[in-house]
Structure 1
Amino acid sequence: MLLRKYVREDLDSIAQINPFAAVQLQYNQSILPENIVCAECDGSVIGVGFLLLHQTLETQKLQITFSTYTDNEHQDNIEADGLLMDGLINRFHQIKKEKPDITVRLRECCETDEIDDMQFFIHKGFSIHSAIPVLKYDLTKEIAHYKIPEAITIQKLTFDETNMKAYLDADSLSSREWEYECEADIWFNTGDPSFSCYAAICDGKIIGAISIWNISEERAATENIFVIPEFRRKNIARELISTALEELKNSNLKIATLSVNGANLPAMKLYLSSGYSLYYNLIEMLCE
């Protein structure tokens, strides 16, 4: 078994391993060819791994995540997983050297019962950083709505170049630190028919937003929630959430979930008081 660089001719083999991985390599601009590695055995591609560079308007920080996939024969194969992970970590350290003036980190999240996975990443140089609670909302119950200032409207946002810039500018003002969104990720997400973004608008400017997409037939994500500081405590975040939940409820989804930094107590209180409840926890692990 050997590790090598990706070439475009590998795409058909990768599609056989995991069709979604092949779609990501084709259309997600966060994935650059130099950040893709392939595991090969007896001349055939048996696994692929790639880094996703979440470059945002916060130019002093770069968060990198990763994905690895192996074929059915090599599922949970320690050698294949280790080979792909070593290749990605080596590339991560190269990127850090190429960008000495900014903070670069590699991030992964594991569920709390995925002990073997956490131990694997610790051996690869990751540390346990924080808890990420995942909250759920029962869409079978009534959804409360909230009064917001008359000057503010909530609209479904259609992304074009103008709206994308306005959205990213607003997000950069939201003080979400490592949670700012990446333009390439948003463009990729818009290719999902279940993806929608609702924006709070005041005087023609975006002041807050929420994004939703389906995770399964019964579950959807309600994520990337923000309101810029001067418009907080006006029920805008609550009404953004309620508007998104109504769409999901009308689409016959049963559960909506979101993740939140466990240290962000104001956000936790907001979501719990808006009807969410604790579902499970993720453990955030970082290689820095």
Structure 2
Amino acid sequence: MKAHIRHYKATDATDISAFNLLFHLSYKYNADFKSENIFCAELDNQVVATGHLEPMDSCEYLEREGKDSDYIHRFAMEMDSVDSDVHAELELEIFNRLVERAYQIKQSYPSKRIQTSYTCSHEDHDSIDFLLSQGFYHCLNYFIMRRDLTVPLPEYRLNPEIEIKRWAMDSEEEKELYLQAEKDSSDDESWSKARLNWFKSGPEWDTFTAFYQGKPISSCMTWGISAERSATEQIFTHPDWRRQGVAKGTIIEALTFLRDEKQRSEATLGVVGSNEAAIRLYKSLGYELIDVQLLMVKDIL
């Protein structure tokens, strides 16, 4: 029986959760995921493969002006199936549908630059070769780094007026404050509130933030990955407070919490390979490189 490729429906949740729980939870609870950007392969009344386009932070400006013509609005692409060996052809068909969907989005925004992206291990030569054949090219590297929490953490000292605290961000006002602080600390766009809510609802989510006179100036987010490992991600520091030990102190507080409260033995993070300042900081804190991932992108013209 030939599989039917169609958009996602809420009733697909149980089937998808059986082979990719993260996709299932994302589709159900993350408002950034839209049905028109999700395709499912249904075979014998069961979803056996799925894939999606996820709008990245840069898509904030799709609906409004404020960026020059070279600004890139990027959608991340992912696929999965019950058995990749058995359903490789279905994943390929979903891949093609996602690329078609990207071109449809481009038609709605003809004056804006749009890309799709796919992240894969540097050792996954088959995937890289396939993406190259489909018009993708290498954009940048992500370094995956690990901190062994069984090794003692360094000490730090800060301006006594700076307070680092575990920040639950319970109110909408606090969420807006966090997102604005992230935006002020980077040339990139801040997370959407939907993405922030999604991560807040995840397993063992916490955020450690440095405040000066009531304003957030540096932050490190953590969430559970396994019984042994947690992530230390979403690390940022306002430009006015860099090279003053604030980011170092914020990360150390997060690592201390993971070690002492969560009983984790390791923490990991991802950093763009060209971010020399961040890499120097992470190395000084004892992080070590464990993997390299490639971001492959395709311009939708």
Q: TM-score, normalised by structure 2?
A: 0.88
* Most deviating of 3-12 and 229-238: 3-12
Matched position secondary structure for 2:204: coil
Q: 1:201-212 maps to which residues of 2 (within 5 A)?
A: 201-212=211-222
Q: Deviations 1:3-50 (Å, cap 9, x if unpaired)?
A: 222233333332334333222211011101111111123443221112
Q: 1:126-165 maps to which residues of 2 (within 5 A)?
A: 126-159=136-169, 160-165=171-176
Q: Which residue of 1 aligns with 2:250?
A: 240
Q: Which residue of 1 aligns with 2:11?
A: 9
Matched position secondary structure for 1:121: helix
Q: Could you tell me which amino acid in structure 1 is paired with residue 24 of structure 2? A: A
Structure 1 residue 132: deviation in Å? 1.3
Distance in 2 of aligned mates of 1:272 and 1:19:
33
**Match among 291, 294, 300 for residue 280 of structure 1:** 291
Closer, same or farther in 2 for the Cα pair 1:55/1:273, shift >3 Å? closer
Closer, same or farther in 2 for the Cα pair 1:58/1:51, shift >3 Å? closer
**Match among 10, 24, 27 for residue 26 of structure 2:** 24
Q: What is the root-mean-square deviation of aligned Cα atoms in Å?
A: 2.0
Matched position secondary structure for 1:260: strand
**Match among 257, 264, 271 for residue 260 of structure 1:** 271
Contact 2:136 2:297 in 1 (8 A): yes
Closer, same or farther in 2 for the Cα pair 1:27/1:165, shift >3 Å? same
Structure 1 residue 101: deviation in Å? 4.4
Matched position secondary structure for 2:273: coil
Contact 1:30 1:53 in 2 (8 A): yes
5+ residue gaps, structure 1, are none
Q: Deviations 1:164-196 (Å, cap 9, x if unpaired)?
A: 111111111112426x32321110111123111
* Most deviating of 55-64 and 186-195: 55-64
Q: Which residue of 1 aligns with 2:64?
A: none
Structure 1 residue 58: deviation in Å? 5.8
Structure 1 residue 57: deviation in Å? 8.8
Q: Which residue of 2 aligns with 1:46?
A: 48
5+ residue gaps, structure 2, are 62-66
Q: Which residue of 2 aligns with 1:115?
A: 125
Alignment size in residue pairs = 286
Q: Deviations 1:131-166 (Å, cap 9, x if unpaired)?
A: 211111110011112111122111111122111111
Contact 1:56 1:182 in 2 (8 A): no
* Most deviating of 47-56 and 155-164: 47-56
**Match among 88, 92, 98 for residue 88 of structure 1:** 98
Q: Could you tell me which amino acid in structure 1 is paired with residue 213 of structure 2? A: D
Q: Deviations 1:79-104 (Å, cap 9, x if unpaired)?
A: 11111111111112222232344443
* Most deviating of 140-149 and 38-47: 38-47
Matched position secondary structure for 2:227: coil
Residue 190 in structure 1 maps to residue 200 in structure 2: yes
The sequence identity of aligned pairs, in percent, is 28
Q: TM-score, normalised by structure 1?
A: 0.92
